[in-house]
Amino acid sequence: MKCIAEYHTHTKYSDGKSTMEENVLFARKIGLRKIGISDHGYMHKGFGVKYRDYPKMKDEIERLREKYQDIKIFLGVEANVLDDRGNIDVDDYIRNYVDYVMAGYHFGSMPPNMRGLKNHVRNFIKPLKPREMDYNTRAIVNDMRDNKIFILTHPGDKGDVYIEEVAKMAEKTSTVLEINAHHDHLSKDQIDKIKHMDIKFAIGSDAHHHTHIGMTQSALSRAHSAGLSKKQIINVI
């Protein structure tokens, strides 16, 4: 298998180390057909995109599209899963500027209620009890149910989930599940539990530096070990 598209990359607009153009140039260098910029949502404190920056980011993407017409360039966002009520830090204003929305759970996000904050703490200190796994699972499932999510990033990372329940909602909503090369999720064990379902997967580098784009071997290895076919993965040939 070989990746031909990257949808999960970060830039200096959030916690990445490179510019948008550096990401695009490196994607072209390694022969990608598509590159997506998907910086952290604005409620990722300390690392998230500034809410006011989306028009500026869109303008830059349009400039890069005009300059580099041999590669498809997209503006996305890696939204934060905020609670178990289907809330993410993407609204209609942001959706007006981005081409797609991904969503993932991060410790840096700011839950809007005390229950979510307590769950943050319990996920951090571990080991998890069933109530935390129930909450984590419900949060992700409800986010897919209530929002149009293109890719669910690193499911189970930071806070473990019942992956079968996550996959059921992904199947209903046509949400793609990510096999992340920067994190251990989806793991081979997780993939084994859900690979028989009518769902799609994506390989993601989660690159925070332009030279890390395309560094997806660990994710590809998990996909191969689990027996996934190319048809099940949206960005490989």
Q: How would you write the pLDDT of the chain (237 residues) with one tens digit per residue?
A: 999 999 999 999 999 999 999 999 999 999 999 999 999 999 998 889 999 999 999 999 999 999 999 999 999 999 999 999 999 999 999 999 999 999 999 887 777 777 777 777 777 776 667 888 899 999 999 999 999 999 999 999 888 999 999 999 999 999 999 999 999 999 999 999 999 999 999 999 999 999 999 999 999 999 999 999 999 999 999
Give the pTM: 0.93
Question: Architecture of domain 5-221 in CATH?
Answer: Alpha-Beta Barrel (3.20)
In terms of Cα–Cα distance, which of 217, 216, 197 is closest to 207? 216
Give residue limits of the domains in the chain.
Answer: 5-221
Residue 19 CB-density burial (10 A; 0-12 exposed, 13-18 middle, 19+ buried): middle
Q: CA–CA separation, 136 vs 125, rounded Å?
A: 15
Q: In whole angstroms, give the CA distance from residue 221 to residue 208.
A: 21
